[in-house]
Structure 1
Amino acid sequence: MRKIVAERMMHSVSSTATVTYTSSAPASALLALRARFKASDPAMGVDAVTLGDLVNFAAVRAATRHPVFSAHLEDGILRTFEDVHLGIAVDTPRGLLVPTVRFASRMGLRELAAHTKSLIGEAQSGGINPDLLAGATFTVSNLGAFGIESFSPIINAPQTAILGVDAISTRAAIGAAGELVAEQRIGFSLTADHRVIDGADAARFLRDLTTVIAEIDLAIVG
């Protein structure tokens, strides 16, 4: 497994022109919504929705708006997809696996969260169907829970981009009245293939992603 991962990573690094872009978004709405979900009646089916699920939902929405980020570039041919098939980087006893949530862009938050948890469980137990480890058009790698503040995720070729999710940290900010306040922000590290994605494209993607994150409560009912 380690050999396969190494070969794929080396192929990606040697065959793509990657640049990593970093940005951050206010995390207050994200944290507040997660707290409400956790305290909700289990019968509503959202008490197990995690921060990662909310970020995945936002990432899919952003990728839907920017088709070149949910695409394959192979043999000089760029192929975009009508739907976003979301790859989730999973740390398992066997090594890194990336199961695919197929048609993630057609799912609401609860369905996306349920599918993601099921795939992660199958990957970590070693019983996942190999067919579910292929076909992703855009991947999310979340290291925020480990306290990582910034990193350069490697694209899962032939995909054109991958989103790294960083830790939530407290930073100084200027309040509405000009006062100094403490603000919690979540960081993102977006690696994109410069052969088809320019810096301005990456900036627009991150702008839309951070807007969804900042207003996640509105985004899930949109």
Structure 2
Amino acid sequence: MSVESVSTAPPVAAPAVVNGSAPAGVGANLPPWPQVDFAEFGEVEVKPVSRIQKLTGAFLSRNWLTIPHVTHQDDADITTLEAFRKAYNEGGPAVKLTPLVFLIKAAVRALREFPQFNASLDGDGKNLVLKKYFHIGVAVDTRFGLLVPVLRDCDRKSVLELAAELTAVSLKAREKGLSMAEMSGGCFSISSLGGFGGTGFTPIINAPEVAILGVTKTRLTPQPSGDGGIDWRKMLPLSLSYDHRVINGADAACFTAFIAAALADPQTLAA
């Protein structure tokens, strides 16, 4: 199914958009969006916003305005993980291992340990629905816009199986787009900007999920070594945005620390 069908057949009605930004009823008392003739100030070019951008933009606006976001920052030492990956990939496998598949496995373990992260508030916000499955969404940048395919039952798949599935679905997302079914049912999302750079950011939660993990570019950090010298470690910045109605700061700190500890032991994640 093409991305055009994604933009015209959402699983639920898209939120009404006021002044191109916020859903109707949310921030209704804010001043109207400025209407400016930009051509008065210089040359301009007008490009229409794609259907997928309009749809995702509306949902992102709703999520940002209605969910009390907090972002917790931490670092994960992936020196051992990177050595493990390099050794495996140098063998010339059909599908190479990326840090992202290890992040998926680490996230699954963290969701098991902290079930409040593998949950959603119901429609009226009176009940917390705790999920017993582990479906992970992975943000993919495409020519259509940002798409988030969902990898299902990640607890039952090896890193090799996840690597093959992630490669295939990412290629499909970039070339053809994805159906809504392929982007629905996620428990937790991961957004990786490691290939682009950055030191941290605030990813927007993908409702009705209650948290999302963002990662940026790995950096070398000096650490004291046992012999009194300096040991250079590869540190991966983690940015965890969470819904403060469901998760508190201590939960978030423990969650990212758990992920960091899991990433430090790649052999266990690959087992």
Classify the TM-score, shorter chain.
Answer: over 0.9
- Alignment correspondent of 2:88: 37
Counterpart of 1:62 in structure 2 is 110
**1:168-183 counterparts in 2 under 5 A?**
168-183=218-233
Question: 1: distance between equivalents of 2:176 and 2:185?
Answer: 19
Alignment of 1:79 with 2:133, yes or no, is: no
**Secondary structure of 2:71's partner?**
strand
Range 113-122 or range 6-15, more displaced? 113-122
Distance 2:172 2:111 in 1: 25
Residue of 208, 222, 227 corresponding to 1:158: 208
Counterpart of 1:93? Answer: 143
Distance 1:124 1:148 in 2: 23
**Amino acid across the alignment from 2:134:** V
Name the structure with the higher strand share. Answer: 1
Q: Structure 2 stretches of 5 or more lacking a match?
A: 1-51
- How far 1:131 moved relative to its partner? 0.6
Aligned counterpart, 1:219: 269
The number of equivalent residue pairs is 218
> Aligned partners of 1:38, 1:139: CA distance in 2, in Å?
26
Query: Corresponding residue for 2:96?
Result: 48
CA deviations over 1:24-80 (Å, ceiling 9, x no partner): 1112111111101211253xx5x5111222222222222222221122223212111
Q: Among the aligned pairs, what percent are the same residue? A: 34
> TM (normalized to structure 2)?
0.77
Partner letter of residue 214 of structure 1?
A: A
> Could you list the per-position Cα deviations for residues 192-217 of structure 1 after superposition, in whole angstroms to 9, with x for gaps in the alignment?
11101011111111111000111112
* AA aligned opposite 2:135: H
> Are the equivalent residues in 1 in contact too, given 2:144–2:177 (CA < 8 A)?
no
In the other structure, the counterpart of 1:190 is 240
Greater than 6 Å deviation, 4+ residue runs: none
Most deviating of 121-130 and 19-28 = 121-130
1-structure distance, mates of 2:268, 2:151: 23
1:7 aligned to 2:58?
yes
Q: Is the 8 A contact 2:102 2:269 kept in 1?
A: no
Question: In proportion to residue count, which structure has more helix?
Answer: 1
- Are 2:196 and 1:146 aligned? yes
1:74-108 deviations in Å (ceiling 9; x for gaps): 32121111111100111010001111111112211
Query: CA contact under 8 A between 1:71 and 1:78: conserved in structure 2?
Result: yes
Pick the aligned partner of 1:122 from 140, 160, 172: 172
